[in-house]
Amino acid sequence: QADVTTTNEDESTSTLTHRYQINLNDNSMVELSDATISFDPMRFISIAGRHFVITQALEIADTGLQRLYWDQANAFSTIHIDQANSSGAIYALDFNDYSFKRFIAQVNDFGSKAITLEQTHQYRPELLGESDTIRDFIVDDNEQGIYAISPTSEWISFNGEAFIDNGLLAQTENNTSLSLVKSTNGRAHYLRYTQTDGFYLDIYNEQQQLINTVNTLGQQPRELLLSPDNKRLIVNAANASQLELVNVEQIAS
């Protein structure tokens, strides 16, 4: 998207948001001038083999940003949404109380609503203090666990009915967790920092074991991205003047 701000005759300002769809095959761009969503798109989700867009207020839209469903009465705002690839369940973090909300989406081309979103669970980790926060999270592919950035609750397991807060993962003491990214095989990668070691990546397998620690090049990160083969980490430095490429190895275990 691109925001264009103009100054009016009375010296007030107005901002108009333009959203675009980009074809990565030839980098061609089409403006989505008739989008009907009201909030910022957060990510693509896959339901019944089809792709949709979900916004920060949990609107569901097609890839042209035409709203297909929104439960306005129960809406809340979030900036962290993830989907379990195997089950298709959608998780969103509610910042009102730092609880995870789990949703199941259903597609029905022949009903009055082409798609619906139903909340099945809500869970706030037991070990999370009243003043503690959750900064980010991911859910693994088979939906057996949530990994989070918080001072007390980094791994929350799920058996299909109930959640269990398992506390912190194995890690160096007195570190600061900065970011969290999921590989294509569903493993959690935490970017952490200590004064002694600088910035480094802790990689965990499906059994929550720490299987490798990889040092980065030492810049404060603003954004992380793993390559599709899980072998390279792209670090967008906070100073916005450089990108770092870090070789990553998931040691078999």
Q: How confident is the model over 36-44, as a mean pLDDT? A: 93
Among candidate residues 39, 47, 45, the one with its CA nearest the CA of residue 19: 39
- The pLDDT tens digits for 66-122 are 999 999 999 999 989 999 989 999 999 999 999 999 999 999 877 778 899 999 999
For residue 239, the Cα-to-chain-centroid distance in whole angstroms is 22
pLDDT the model gives residue 240: 63
- The predicted-structure confidence for 114-172, as pLDDT tens digits, reads as follows 899 999 999 999 999 999 999 999 999 999 999 999 999 999 999 999 999 999 999 99
**Whole-structure pTM value:** 0.90
Question: Is the CB of residue 91 less than 8 Å from the CB of residue 104?
Answer: no
Instruction: Report the C-alpha gap between 141 and 185 in whole angstroms.
Output: 8
Determine how many CB atoms are found less than 10 A away from the CB of residue 5: 8
Instruction: Identify the band that residue 218 occupies on the pLDDT scale cut at 50, 70 and 90.
Output: confident
Supply the pLDDT for residue 245.
85
138 touches 184 (CB < 8 A): no
pLDDT digits (tens, 9 = 90+) for 9-21: 898 999 888 999 9
Number of H helices, E strands in the chain: 0, 23
Q: Are 213 and 201 in contact (CB under 8 A)?
A: yes
Category of 228 on φ-ψ map: left (φ > 0), alpha (ψ -120 to 50) or beta: alpha
